[in-house]
Amino acid sequence: MNNKELQSELSRRLGLSQKEVAGMMKEFVDEYTERFGEGSDELPFLSLGTLEVRNKEQRVVVNPVTKKRMLVPPKLVLAFRPSVSLKNRIKNMPEL
Amino acid sequence: MSERVTSREFAAALARRTGKSAGDMTLFLQELQSVVEQGLTEDGLVKISGLGTFRLVWNEPRRSVNVQTGDAIEIAGHYKVSFTPDASLRDIVNEPLAHLEVVELPDDEPRVATEETGDDDYELPIQKLADQAEALKDILSDIQGGPLFTPDIEPMDEADDGAVTSVEDEVGAKESEKESEGEAEDIVLADVGTEEPTGDGVEGSVDAQFGSEEGSDEVTDTGERHKADMERVASYELPAEEVGQGLSADIGTESDSIAVEGHSEVSAAEDNEAEGGVEDGLSVEHAGAGAVYSSDDKDGGGSGSKDDGYYSAKEMAASVPISVRKRRRTWGHVLLAVLAVAAVASGVIFVYDNWLWDSGLSDEEGFEASAVGVEELPEARDMTEAMSDTAVLAEEETLHASVPLTPAATEEAAEVKEECEAVTVAKVPSSAHIEMFDRERRYCEFSDTVEITRGSRLAWIAYKRLGNKVFWPYIYEANMDHISDPNNISVGTLLRVPILPSELTDTTNPECIKYARELHRHYAK
């Protein structure tokens, strides 16, 4: 389901126009970008789980062909941690 | 950093932001949630632009072990949710560390350690100590003007045990003298012991030290004396203040490499050595990089010795008292371990010898058995040869009795023979009962030719060309005529990538994967 399908489905359910829904979605997403930009570590994502910032350590990698060794710097990545209920629901799904 | 935000607080903030009522916002969020869930469960994929993509990832069922009971259990296949943030959000999150760049590490660090395996890790420090002993011997003989002692100086012999203990006594007896000889000696010895190229200063002080020793008639029993020095270097607890910074780093390095257990640690130790002052320019650069990273990244804390090499030498100095003690203990461990290895090795050789003799007696039986095997083999080979070389065989009509072939089949085979040099591979006994797998594979159509370069992997080629790395045996089979060992293909070899029937390399069909795994087990012995 891509963003467009998501918005049209939402507008159908809420009885709002596509434009209104798009505006709400934008605000919703901007709230995350702003808060993460301000240094939040963890924000709830609906009641499906949390979006959290994880710290990836620096590491040494070796190019298998040239054998050059490189030091990859540490970085912060955004990860999604599903809530227990979502995890269980998804876990018990049969293979698509 | 910030406190945990609950979803209610988040919703309230969002309501303030949009100017809608809390009720409207709750409704919106509820619907959004149910739509996202619906998308996930139906499509396995939801994209929210600006935020990222949620995706369901299928995890194959696998065998595992119950950690409490040790029973084998099967973990059923299941889905997991993965989230990939959009590039914009990803960059915002990584903003604090965005200025860091990949640093290319200098290539001239000693590589020995990374190539050593297993027991060699133990021999590494031993080798080092032996070298040090050699160096000390040279210095002594220079001073005395002649060869001093003949006994072997391999410090790790069982015979040396006695020497070491007596040396310890000696050290005890000469406690007072040692004190008068003072701290300078210990430091100097440590320096020589760690063999860092700290240069002229060391040589000078070594001379001075041995000069004083000559005065007190200590050098006559150099063999033992020498060991005493070594032992003291190993066991003397140097307080951190007494030791220069560079020196302490060196000792830390030494003890690290003794305590080595994995390659990464070894290489980390080697890195330390490089930073210890061998090449000033490089170490400065390293320390700089390390400092930058560590200031941002320090809360990782005990992220393992792997990273330590990249923090500044200062930290090494701080941790020296511990590592010296550690070294003392690991020294004992190394001695014990070497003795144990020697004992085991001799035991194994003894047993193996005996076994050889025993098996020598029953050799004839073994020969008979292998003879049977040889008798059976040609039959199997005939099967395959008969299929590919039927052109010849059909003409001569001297088909092996065990290969009943209809004329049609031989014709077909002959055609194949004409079209290409068919490389046929006998089928591997399989439990999968799909006709496709039971039929023997014939490789005559090729999609591409790949040249093996350094670092190439059959599995990788299979992943690129056939869609899954488990299909590598097919590439191997197609090139069996010119590669013998799939794990060791020489650089420059040209491999043909076969075109396979799609039902054989169907990545979504678990049977295909299973069969390819069987082939993998068959070939990767």
Give CA torsion, residues B94, B100, B101, B102, to 10 deg. -90
CB contacts of B299 in chain A (<8 Å) are: 55
Helix axes B407-419, B363-388, angle to 10 degrees: 80
The DSSP H or E segment spanning B487 is none
Nearest CA in chain A to B46: A1
| Interface probe with A: pick from B24, B42, B51, most Cβ of A within 10 Å | B51
DSSP B328-366: HHHHHHHHHHHHHHHHHHHHHHHHHHHHHHHHHHTHHHH
Give me the residues paired with residue B495 across strands: B450
Could you report how far apart the first and last alpha carbons of chain B are, in Å? 52
Residue B1 has its nearest CB partner, among A39, A51, A77, at: A39
Per the CB < 8 Å rule, is A46 touching B7? yes
pLDDT at B118 over 60: no
B347: amino acid identity, one letter: G
- The pLDDT assigned to B298 comes to 37
Whole-angstrom Cα distance, residue B271 to residue A72?
Answer: 16
Mean local confidence (pLDDT), B475-487:
83
Contact B430, B438 (CB under 8 A): yes
- The β-bridge partners of A50 are A44, A81
CB B446, CB B498: distance < 8 Å: yes
Chain A partners of B507 at a C-beta cutoff of 8 Å? Answer: none
The region, left, alpha or beta by phi > 0 then psi within -120 to 50, assigned to residue B50 is left
Which residue in B1, B57, B93 has the most chain A C-beta atoms within 10 A of its own C-beta, making it the best mutation to test that interface?
B93
- Residues facing residue B80 across a β-bridge: B57
pLDDT of residue A34: 92
Quick check: A24 and A11 in contact, CB under 8 A?
no
Q: Is the dihedral of CA B450, B454, B456, B457 positive or negative?
A: positive
Place B455 in a pLDDT band, splitting at 50, 70 and 90: confident
> For residues B493 and B449, what is the distance between their CA atoms, to the nearest angstrom?
10
Residue B345, Cβ density class (10 Å: 0-12 exposed, 13-18 middle, ≥19 buried): exposed
- Pairwise pLDDT comparison (B43 vs B309), residue with the higher score: B43
Contact A9 B38 (CB under 8 A): yes
The arrangement of strands across the sheet holding B103-104 comes to: A59-62, A69-72, B103-104
* Mean pLDDT of the region B282-292: 39
B60-102 tens-digit pLDDT: 889 999 999 999 999 888 899 999 999 999 999 998 898 998 8
Cα(A25)–Cα(A3) distance, integer angstroms: 10
> Which among B304, B230, B302 has a CA at the least distance from the CA of B261?
B304
- pLDDT, residue B513, reads 84
The DSSP bridge pattern shows strands B423-425 and B441-443 to be antiparallel
Q: What count of CB pairs under 8 Å joins A to B?
A: 191
Residue B165 or residue B23, greater confidence = B23
Alpha helices in A1-96 (DSSP H): 3-14, 18-37, 84-91
Work out the minimum CA distance from A32 to partner chain B, whole angstroms. 8
Rounded distance between C-alpha atoms, residue B6 and residue A42, angstroms: 10
Shortest alpha-carbon distance between residue B447 and chain A (Å): 25
Query: How far is C-alpha B485 from the chain's CA centre?
Result: 21
> Whole-angstrom Cα distance, residue B401 to residue B378?
13
Give the residue with greater pLDDT, B308 vs B331. Answer: B331
Q: Angle, nearest 10°, between helix axes B120-144 and B245-258?
A: 130
Instruction: Over range A55-78, report the average pLDDT.
Output: 92
Question: Does the structure show a pLDDT above 70 at B465?
Answer: yes
> What does the alpha-carbon distance between residue B154 and residue A70 come to, in Å, rounded to a whole number?
38
The pLDDT score that the predictor gives to residue B249 is: 39
Measured CA distances, B207 to A1, B153, B203, B246 (Å): 80, 21, 6, 21
User: Cβ contact (<8 Å) for B293 and A58?
Assistant: yes
| Residue with more model confidence, B284 or B148 | B148
> Is B48 in Cβ contact with A57 (below 8 Å)?
no
Q: How far apart are CA A26 and CA B49, in angstroms?
A: 9
Q: Looking at residue B50, what DSSP letter applies?
A: T
The residue of chain B nearest to residue A70, with distances taken between CA atoms, is: B104
Using DSSP, state whether B46 is helix, strand or coil: strand
Per-residue pLDDT at A94 exceeds 60 = yes
CA dihedral B423, B429, B431, B436 (to 10 degrees): 20
CB spacing of A29 vs B43 below 8 angstroms:
no
The helix or strand, by DSSP H or E, that contains position B85, with its residue range, turns out to be: strand B78-85
Q: Which of A33, A69, A93 lies at the smallest CB-CB distance from B92? A: A33
**Model pLDDT for residues B380-410, shown as the tens digit of each residue:** 444 444 444 433 443 444 334 444 444 444 4
Task: Report the gap between the CA of B5 and the closest CA in chain A (Å).
Answer: 6
Biggest CA–CA distance in chain B, Å, is: 103
Confidence check: pLDDT of A47 > 50: yes
The residue of chain A nearest to residue B44, with distances taken between CA atoms, is A1
Q: Under a CB-based contact definition with an 8 Å cutoff, are residues B387 and B440 in contact? A: yes
Bridge partners, A43 (sequence order): A51
Which among A53, A58, A76 has the least Cβ separation from residue B307? A58
Domains, chain B, in order of start with CATH, read 7-97 (4.10.520.10), 114-325 (no CATH), 362-419 (no CATH), 421-525 (no CATH)
DSSP string for residues in B421-453: --EEEPPPP-S---HHHHSPEEE--EEEEEE--
Chain B positions touching A38 (Cβ under 8 A) are 2
* Closest of B358, B264, B255 to residue B310, by C-alpha: B264
Contact B190, B247 (CB under 8 A): yes
Residues of chain B above pLDDT 70, percent: 42
Most confident of the following: B128-137, B301-310, B421-430: B128-137
**Rounded to an integer, what distance in angstroms lies between the CA atom of residue B152 and that of residue B148?**
12
The DSSP secondary-structure symbol of B100 reads -
Beta-sheet pairing, A59-62 with B441-443: unpaired
Highest mean pLDDT among B123-132, B276-285, B419-428, B447-456: B447-456
Minimum-distance CB partner of A1 among B39, B50, B51: B39
Across the interface, whether the CB atoms of B100 and A96 are under 8 A apart is answered no
Q: What is the pLDDT of residue B109?
A: 56
**Is the predicted pLDDT of residue B412 greater than 60, yes or no?**
no
Report DSSP state, residue B156. Answer: T
Q: How far apart are alpha carbons B257 and B250 in whole angstroms?
A: 11
pLDDT one-digit tens code per residue, B163-208: 444 444 444 444 444 444 444 444 444 444 334 443 343 344 444 3
Instruction: Give the pLDDT band (50/70/90) at residue B456.
Output: confident
